[in-house]
Structure 1
């Protein structure tokens, strides 16, 4: 095993990482990489040998105490040669001293446990086609871009360990995607974003004060891509979210585990109906 030259990813590398993730069957959003770069421009690493990219990882820093790992991929042609572990060590070194989270695929979870991660909950990706439907009578669904951003950011902070304003602004505002907020009596009580992907359109985050609001957001998001399948990664830490996905006829398709290196953050799990991104949390 030769050492890799490990460096921060370029814009072209981010596209490559997205393509590799698609080849793994993870179905990343078509434009996710633009928001990812805003979150932490130095948080994406690529390992090369003789100029050829062989492995990658993201190790994104949030605030002063949290980090999230994703995009941990060695190209299939070089697996088993130790290149992946070199990227893993570089990514974890960049997050040294922080609480670190990840969403691990089933086949890698034992390896993550060896690195000190412990499971907090299971995410199940549910997929299917939904019709449009009216929201509850006392709730208004509005374009999230029309909601003062400070209110959106404060709401998002209930579901994530650190503020992530730059990422959130890009995530909700990128062209080609739709974001809706549920508002009741002037309060934000739900948020959902849908973005196109190679397979099913991806939904995330999906936050809601009640199952009815979550269902209304899902139906409204589905209406932006009529007749097309959507996919949402649902945490079993919120049993109501699992029950809702099943009641809507969505089918389980893909499983990961949310894992942390330390105490599970204090999040509004009863309001978390769909995680934002497997790569960035």
Structure 2
């Protein structure tokens, strides 16, 4: 390992490089993801620089005083296996202090994450397939309403299904360029909300947080029907937590098939959240 190796937070332009690397690794980030991610913790994205050149990235984003999420852990292929990634990991995780840290890691790295104190909570499974085919397995009815800003009601609804408050993130996520957000009310009561966004390849739906499978199905239908007909031949992806069997059933009813999976892990006991209400994970990079 060279001694001319420096570790520091990334600038916003360098975060765009990290997003490009994630795309190269097959994570298929959204087109507006970087700006949304930076809204949570501007000092949460780190890089390792060898002779001034970026060769490794990681994010450890602090949501609040208790919870952080780790992602974008990538070392350039030319520099793997030389200890650069480990040094960056150690420096970046120190940014989280004594917070509980979560991550979504590829299955083959699960043992390495366990060595750093992470415990498996459950698997997340990415389903994918053509939008046109997915719509055939969904209801036609339009029951939802546009969600153009973060309301206190939506924030409280989301909080039950996420380990920390994330108002800054959601304020950007709901309104980012290309994102479409919908909410579903029954008898003037919020029963679910969701977002669809354009990605490097196709579209992703996430989050979808709903009281039950019927609400989730109606929301997913509304989100997909918000996509122009001209792109219905493109793929849509839905990431679902394996313990929520109803979410997996919804994906299969849409004709989607598993294409990728991650291990959701935490540095301590898994936080008590309503996994049975999560029908679409927001993002593997930020939870």
Whether TM exceeds 0.5 here: the answer is yes
* RMSD, aligned α-carbons: 1.4
> Equivalent residue for 1:194?
196
- Measured in 1, the distance between the counterparts of 2:183 and 2:160 equals 15
> Equivalent residue for 2:264?
258
Residues paired across the two proteins, number: 277
One of 145, 148, 151 as aligned partner of 2:148: 145
- Measured in 1, the distance between the counterparts of 2:263 and 2:202 equals 21
The answer to whether the 8 A contact 1:127-1:230 is kept is: yes
User: How far 1:200 moved relative to its partner?
Assistant: 2.5
- Measured in 2, the distance between the counterparts of 1:76 and 1:186 equals 53
The answer to whether the 8 A contact 1:135-1:141 is kept is: no
> Equivalent residue for 2:182?
180
Please show how residues 10-159 of structure 1 align to structure 2 within 5 Å.
10-128=11-129, 129=131, 130-131=134-135, 133-135=139-141, 140-145=143-148, 149-159=151-161
1:177-227 deviations in whole A, cap 9, x for unaligned? 101111111121111111111112111111111111111111221123231
> Equivalent residue for 1:2?
2
- Measured in 2, the distance between the counterparts of 1:263 and 1:183 equals 33
- Measured in 2, the distance between the counterparts of 1:158 and 1:278 equals 18
- Measured in 1, the distance between the counterparts of 2:178 and 2:249 equals 30
Q: Which runs of 5+ in 1 are unaligned?
A: none
User: How far 1:229 moved relative to its partner?
Assistant: 1.5
> Equivalent residue for 1:234?
240
Q: Which runs of 5+ in 2 are unaligned?
A: none
The answer to whether the 8 A contact 1:194-1:202 is kept is: yes
1:100-149 deviations in whole A, cap 9, x for unaligned? 1000111211100111111111000001222274348xxx3011116x61
Secondary structure at 2:73 match in 1: strand
- Measured in 1, the distance between the counterparts of 2:16 and 2:139 equals 35
Secondary structure at 1:91 match in 2: helix
- Measured in 2, the distance between the counterparts of 1:91 and 1:279 equals 15
1:152-195 deviations in whole A, cap 9, x for unaligned? 11111111111110111001111211011111111211111111
User: How far 1:278 moved relative to its partner?
Assistant: 0.6
Bigger Cα displacement from structure 2, 57-66 vs 211-220 = 211-220
Secondary structure at 1:276 match in 2: coil
The answer to whether the 8 A contact 2:119-2:269 is kept is: no
> Equivalent residue for 1:269?
275
